[in-house]
Structure 1
Amino acid sequence: MRIPSGLLLFALLCNVLATAQNKQLLYDFNEIPQSLMVNPGVKTSQKWHAGIPVLSGLAFQGATSGVTVNDLFANDGVDFTTKVRERLLDVMSDRDDFSSTSQIEGITVGFRGRNRPDTYYSFGMYGEMDIISYWPKDLAILAFEGNGGNNIGRSFDLGDLNLRGEMINVFHFGINKKIDNSLTIGGRAKIYSSIFQFQSIRNSGSFVTRAGQNNIYESTISADMQLQTAGIRGFYDIAEEDTGTTQKDVTSLFTERVLLGGNLGLGLDFGFSYNLNPQTTITGSILDVGFISNSKDVWNYTLNGSTTTEGITVFLPEDINNVDNDLWQELLDDIEEELPYGENDSGYISWRPVKLYGSVRYDFGEGGRGSVFENCGCGVNVDGGNNRDYYRNSVGGQLFMVKRPKGVQAALTGFYQRRFGRVLSLKTTYTVDKYTFTNVGLGANLQLGPINFYVLADNLLSYSNIADSHYASLQFGFNIISWNNN
């Protein structure tokens, strides 16, 4: 039996779209204004900044903890069915996942208070898509092998079906406050405007086939499963109408939901930076502590109950003339009565994936406050506190954790950063997580007068063969920054 094309297509699509949430290169890279988005308490030195709309912050990443495109489609002389068996079904577990998170920043602005120079305000809007699907191992084996042969008596876990996804627009306002020369704290409030959301995350049940009494086999299925969706039916109905204004209607509905016309939610970010001594700094942040209340355009599916069937029982030869479609329909009716499939429009709460960062940094290699620093306009954080203007080098470690449906995922990063005056800063990282043990990243921040450009790329060792990579990432953006009066 071959794996169904739909299941394979779904897995490959997830592999193409998959992204990870960790922004280890951006975190604590405080020369880049967008570092405020991963730590509201990062030390700020600019007078104000404004991102170039849509181009100020774009993040595209890709990750899979299981099979890669090359594993299945490499021209290596191995039969495709064998590849599916040996490289997909035999290797991947129900803890492997395909996940997707991407962001496009629409607007970002930050400025220092005229009467409160120790306080930096920022606000803006960005769009985010977050999708995760765990590999449904038992269901994939059932689809590939069927329930006969060696699978007689095996209980297939229906709870392996575990997925969640959403597309949202986020409006945010943050305050970054220097408490003293050692401590800077920050917070950010968010309003979420949901475009669509779906989740099927608390499923349970089993399917098992055993030797029957009145027939060769009997199959028992017990299920408590639910797929919740919000915002999807509106787009589905437009597509089903198939009118001459379909594209216009989709654009109109999308725009409405981007601008607070969909399901709404609230969220908070918090962060800090603290100098243990002039050369050692610890930082931490917690992001997206929030939720969305899904009450509009809700469309849910449920499957709840249990049943055992031996199929159609036919006694030969006397029943040979009585075998007709009515027997099949009666069987289906009996199954549906015991295992009812339902739809409802009950609202529900979806929680945002909470993220946690922490770091320890050691600065060294005195650069002094020569001409390259005299016009930086960052006196509010320099005097006695901002190590970055005294030291050209930094080394340290970072920890990242994100809450996922099957538990917390973590990543550990070591980094080195080198500054070349106010013009150029480079950061390199080495990250270990569930996706790869060989993730080497490199980031660059270039400051040409008021124009700021940054580019951050992860897992550089994989770029020679992206199709065989478990992780790839690229972030870049343009900003205008005022250090003094420019």
Structure 2
Amino acid sequence: MRKCTLLFLTLFGLVFCALGQNKQLLYDFTEIPQSLIVNPGAKTDVRWYSGIPVLSGISFQAGSSGLSVNDIFADDGIDINTKVRERAIFGMNPRDELSGTYQLELINAGFRGKNPDIFYSFGIYNEGDAIGYWFQDYAILAFEGNADRLNQRFDLGHLKTRGELMNVFHFGINKRVDNQLIVGARAKIYSSIFDFNSTKNKGYFVTTEGQNNLFASTLEADMQLRTSGIEALREAQDDGNLGSTILKRGFFGGNLGVGVDLGFTYHLNEQTVVTASLLDVGFIYHANDVKNYTLNGSATVEGIEVILPDALTDPNADFWQDLVDEIEEFVPFEDNAESYISFRPTKLNASLRYNFGEQVMSRADCDCEDLISGGNFRSKYANAVGGQLYVINRPRGPQPALTAFYLRRLGNILALKTTYTVDKFSLSNVGLGFSLQAGPVNLYLLADNLLAYRNVAASRYTSFQFGLNIISWGRN
């Protein structure tokens, strides 16, 4: 039982040391080719593009909804034990989380087919994602003990955590149906490097008055931790082969899964546009290097019972071991290698955009009227405003975010986008991004929560994205 608890707490700690997933700055920022990754039905007017390997798309996001580093370690004259108790132990609740993700593109490219209304894209990226919720009752029990909390049930369901590392191989098709509608789909193969999840725990621990001793402790548990790939990585680290093992598992040597992205762009009229996408509708089947841990059963114990004078007749009796054996008999801690399925954290994006100002002639219109059938291509506008909804499926239910944005184009050279986002991490998240087109070279940089940079330690959310691409519009 002690091993199980330590393992659960250790994995939750790994989440806190790990890297949200909302890419509101990139979404519908069509000057950037990577906007197809977050909406396969986004508008694109290029002949082809190619990301510079490893540098074409780097993104990192991390958020904490309940606590910042500054809340605990600020030099404010308050004793640190007081801050831990008031701001962490009792200041947070089981819905508070620390979560994050990173993506690193290895290959990303796209090209227009013989039918100029169809655009193909493909690539490989490495992704890590993790989330952990605050296990409040566990923290209270560890911090204050149970002696003064008779009859209080400590909820074992407060422990919810999951994390994964994988390579994603993808191929997408973007089709212009007519001058109003663009649709897109992207197929994905997931190659899992490692996975862990413990999200369906039930049970409680309670202390009551005892009959034979002063206190009686009751544990009723139905808990499970599922892992894959972790044992292989641990052994590889011991053997000095960690890098090659990660590479092998990331390229079809681990557990595999499939998924799909869907999206569209629809012009309600000349200046009003609706977009939406549904990402990572998929799963991974874990059958390789699986190790699961379970704690299932119930028991009530009243500590060590020493009955005199009978106990004196056996001076070698190990009363502590008898107690441990009794607990493990009723609440067995077991492990197994049963395969399991993990579902990806599905994400929904939707936006409404209004374009205005002078029209900016697309590079595709300059001398490539064959690029879109019938030369039927909409020009861009210098300005755009709108709103975006983002929802991600998480272990404690859907997690939404709302964004208002303004986009400004300065010809075909520079585009700027600023956002204001409200979510569970922040009510004042201001983001700014730019896309610079220097000849065929596209450079973009996007960063969130800029106001927090005045005091990074007090920030509960950070995000940035960076990339370099080569773009061609098919000029003669």
1:304 corresponds to: 296
Q: 1:267 aligns with which of 250, 259, 262?
A: 259
Q: Distance in 2 between matches of 1:464 and 1:121?
A: 42
Does the CA contact (< 8 Å) of 1:278 and 1:387 recur in 2? no
- 2:54 is paired with a residue whose SS is coil
What's the counterpart of residue 476 of structure 1?
466
Contact 1:377 1:483 in 2 (8 A): no
Q: TM-score, normalised by structure 1?
A: 0.92
Deviations 1:188-218 (A, max 9, x none): 0000000000111111000000010110000
- Give the aligned partner of residue 112 of structure 1: 112
What is the aligned length? 472
Instruction: Report the residue type matching 1:422 in the other structure.
Output: N
SS at match of 2:268: strand
2:335 maps to what in 1? 343
Post-superposition CA distance 1:318-342 (Å, at most 9, x none): 8578676611111111111100111
What is the letter of the counterpart of residue 330 of structure 1? D
Match in the other structure for 1:63: 63
CA distance in 2, matches of 1:5, 1:296: 24
Q: What's 2:415 paired with?
A: 425
Q: CA RMSD in A?
A: 2.3
Structure 1 residue runs of 5 or longer lacking an equivalent are none
Change (3 A) 1:452 1:323: farther
Contact kept? 2:347, 2:392, Cα under 8 Å: yes
Aligned counterpart, 2:96: 96
Could you tell me which runs of 5 or more consecutive residues in structure 2 were left unpaired when the two chains were aligned: none
For the 8 Å contact 1:52–1:478, the answer to whether it is kept is yes
TM-score, normalization by structure 2: 0.94
Determine helix, strand or coil for the equivalent of 2:290: coil
Alpha-carbon spacing, 1:178–1:325, altered in 2? closer, same or farther (3 Å): farther
Kept in 1, the 8 Å contact 2:8–2:225? The answer is no
Indicate how the Cα distance of structure 1 residues 223 and 167 shifts in structure 2: closer, same or farther if over 3 A, else same.
Answer: same
Q: 1:286 aligns with which of 251, 275, 278?
A: 278
Question: Could you report, residue by residue, the CA deviation over 1:429-467 in whole angstroms, capped at 9, with x for unpaired residues?
Answer: 000000000000001000000000000000000011111
- Match of 1:163? 161
User: Are 1:440 and 2:438 counterparts?
Assistant: no
Q: Could you tell me which amino acid in structure 2 is paired with residue 280 of structure 1?
A: T
Aligned residue for 1:181? 179
Of 389, 399, 404 in structure 2, the residue corresponding to residue 399 of structure 1 is 389
Change (3 A) 1:124 1:282: same
Give me the whole-angstrom Cα distance separating, in 2, the residues matched to 1:395 and 1:470: 27
Aligned to 1:78: 78
Question: Which residue in 2 is equivalent to 1:200?
Answer: 198
Report the Cα offset of residue 384 of structure 1.
Answer: 5.0
CA 1:418–1:368: 2 relative to 1, 3 Å:
closer
Whether contact under 8 Å (1:45, 1:381) holds in the other structure is: no
Is the CA contact 1:192–1:264 (under 8 Å) kept in the aligned structure 2?
A: yes
Report percent identity of matched pairs: 55
User: Displacement, 1:351?
Assistant: 0.4
Shift of 1:152: 1.2
- Preserved CA contact (<8 Å) 1:97 1:135: yes
Q: Could you say what secondary structure the match of 2:143 adopts?
A: helix
Summarize deviations over 1:24-81 as a string: whole Å, max 9, x none: 0000000000000000000101110000000000001221001111111112221111
The match for 1:221 is: 219
1:235 pairs with 229, 233, 237, which one?
Answer: 233
Measure the CA separation in 2 of the matches of 1:329 and 1:5.
Answer: 20
Q: Is residue 137 from structure 1 mapped to residue 127 from structure 2 by the alignment? A: no
Cα displacement (A) at 1:7: 9.9
**Cα shift at 1:182:** 0.3
| CA distance in structure 2 between the partners assigned to 1:478 and 1:386 by the alignment | 26
CA distance, structure 2, for counterparts of residue 213 and residue 371 of structure 1: 84
Q: Are residues 5 and 74 of structure 1, via their aligned partners in 2, closer, same or farther at CA, if it must alter by over 3 Å?
A: farther
Distance 1:145 1:369 in 2: 67
SS at match of 1:83: helix
